[in-house]
Amino acid sequence: MVALPVGSFDMGSNNGEANEKPVHRVTIAQSFAIGKTEVTQGQWKAIMGNNPSHFSGGLLARNCGEDCPVENVSWDDVQEFIKKLDAKTGKQYRLPSEAEWEYACRAGGQQKYCGRGTLDNVAWDFRNSGDMTHPVAQKQANAFGLYDMSGNVWEWVEDSWHDNYNGAPTDGSVWQGDGMKRVLRGGSWNSKPQGTLATYRIMGKPAEGDHDVGFRLAKTLP
């Protein structure tokens, strides 16, 4: 994991979708660490004893390999993984908040994607992925040393879904809600470039996964 400094940034985009507005200043008040990569198939299997991934060599799917991100996992599945990981390691992991995720993606800047240079430099999307996931950390990392925050798989965050940022927390904490829908960030191997933008967000039902949905871990620091 990568320990990130506290800091402030402008979250959202006034030029994007309605759910990305309004732009608001967020100050990350609590130090945290976040996974350098998305959780892989191998890491999931080591904790859960199974591999739900579509790209694990099933009947109709290509085998991406254990270094590829685990996918086809729901938000609820991820919570169970975290419980078992905590029990095994004696540590306390979690999903990042949506604000923490965007802060980590932007890495101290306001760049368009989660990294510098062209999108091809930092992300697997529908134009270059060959219709499948790829091993993590093959593209360039962002300025915080994080890989694949744009593209490869969508990433669950902890927050409940809200239709816009009116009333959103400004301290980087999780935005609570009814929990009927959760937030996904970062785009995936089958996303158009818009989906991989630093500010782009979609929602998903917490009990449902898909072959382009995964996650990365976070951890609160002292």
Per-residue confidence (pLDDT) for residue 60, from 0 to 100: 63
The per-residue pLDDT string of the chain (222 residues; one tens digit each, 9 = 90 and over) reads 999 999 999 999 999 999 999 999 999 989 999 999 999 999 999 999 999 999 997 666 689 999 999 999 999 999 999 999 999 999 999 999 999 999 999 998 878 999 988 999 999 999 999 999 999 999 999 999 999 999 999 999 999 999 999 999 999 999 999 999 999 999 999 999 999 999 999 999 999 999 999 999 999 999
Calpha distance 41→51 (Å, rounded): 6
- For 85, the token pair is 């990981």
Vertex 211 angle, CA 134 and 88, to 5°: 80
CATH of the domain at 130: 3.90.1580.10
- Contact predicate 31/3, CB 8 Å: yes
**pTM tops 0.85:** yes
Using a 10 angstrom Cβ sphere, with 0-12 exposed, 13-18 middle and 19 or more buried, the burial of residue 92 is exposed
In the chain, how many domains are there? 1
- Contact predicate 20/98, CB 8 Å: no
- Could you list the residue range(s) of the whole structural domain that residue 64 is in? 2-220
Calpha distance 119→139 (Å, rounded): 10
